[in-house]
């Protein structure tokens, strides 16, 4: 209970923002279900739940500062494994091609709200882990490694969206995933779309993260 109360106290602003956005997202989703008699977009709730896992892990690590190095590495690996689930929601915009024209505006709002909520969890989680890593590793090394992190996330989103791999399949389909990754890396000419999506999406996330972090730090100094 102490950890939970500490977590709520420390993350109250983020929790409030996520709660408000999630509530509005779910309300609009219920409205869509009433209007269409279709549960098609219910998967967004599950996707948002997956997006929250890295945020919970990073928050737990920063609150529980007595973790052993081995436990920290284990939690960090699980965090990285689930991290692409948050920005993955952006690609749910692909489902708009199945939307009827008269509800296109509503479906766009619903997906965007879920995606924005996921991105808030994503950026906050990365920021938290950046601070944690800087206490164990040289700061410049962490800073220079960030673009690579976002490229890895972009690649994770590609594996999920286009090849339909899930995070937990690393347990029951490890060799299939490893073979696929090795094939994409060693055959860039055959997998141009994979490389293009990975780099562009990763750069998109990195630029957004840098802009948000810089703006936030500037506001903190000003206050």
Helices 43-63 and 12-36: crossing angle in degrees, nearest 10, is: 170
pLDDT of 215:
84
Token pair 């994503």 is found at 122
In terms of DSSP H, where are the helices of the chain?
2-10, 12-36, 43-63, 69-82, 85-88, 104-134, 139-161, 169-172, 174-186, 192-222
Rounded Cα distance between 152 and 202, Å, is 7
CA atoms within a 13 Å half-sphere pointing along the CA-CB vector of 16: 5
Rounded Cα–Cα distance for residues 81 and 187 (Å): 23
Number of Cβ within 10 Å of residue 65's Cβ equals: 9
Mean pLDDT of all residues in 24-34: 97
Q: What is the pLDDT of residues 136-176, one digit of tens each?
A: 888 999 999 999 999 999 999 999 999 999 887 888 888 99
- Interior CA angle at 124 toward 121 and 128, to 5°? 135
Q: pLDDT band at residue 12, thresholds of 50, 70 and 90?
A: confident
């Amino acid at each position: 209970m102490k950890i939970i109360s500490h977590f709520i106290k420390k993350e109250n602003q983020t929790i409030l923002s996520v709660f408000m956005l999630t509530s509005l997202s779910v309300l609009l989703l219920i409205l869509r279900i009433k209007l269409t008699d279709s549960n098609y977009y219910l998967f967004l709730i599950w996707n948002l739940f997956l997006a929250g896992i890295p945020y919970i892990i990073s928050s737990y690590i920063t609150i529980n500062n007595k973790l052993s190095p081995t436990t920290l590495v284990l939690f960090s690996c699980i965090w990285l494994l689930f991290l692409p689930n948050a920005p993955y929601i952006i690609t749910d915009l692909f489902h708009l091609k199945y939307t009827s024209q008269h509800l296109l505006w509503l479906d766009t709002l619903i997906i965007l709200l879920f995606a924005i909520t996921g991105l808030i969890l994503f950026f906050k989680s990365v920021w938290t882990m950046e601070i944690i890593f800087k206490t164990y590793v040289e700061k410049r090394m962490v800073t220079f490694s960030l673009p690579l992190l976002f490229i890895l996330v972009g690649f994770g989103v590609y594996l999920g969206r286009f090849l339909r791999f899930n995070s937990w399949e690393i347990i029951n389909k490890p060799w299939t995933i490893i073979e696929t990754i090795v094939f994409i890396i060693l055959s860039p000419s055959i997998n141009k779309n994979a490389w293009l999506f990975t780099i562009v999406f990763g750069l998109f996330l990195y630029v957004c993260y840098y802009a948000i972090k810089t703006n936030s730090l500037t506001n903190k100094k000003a206050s």
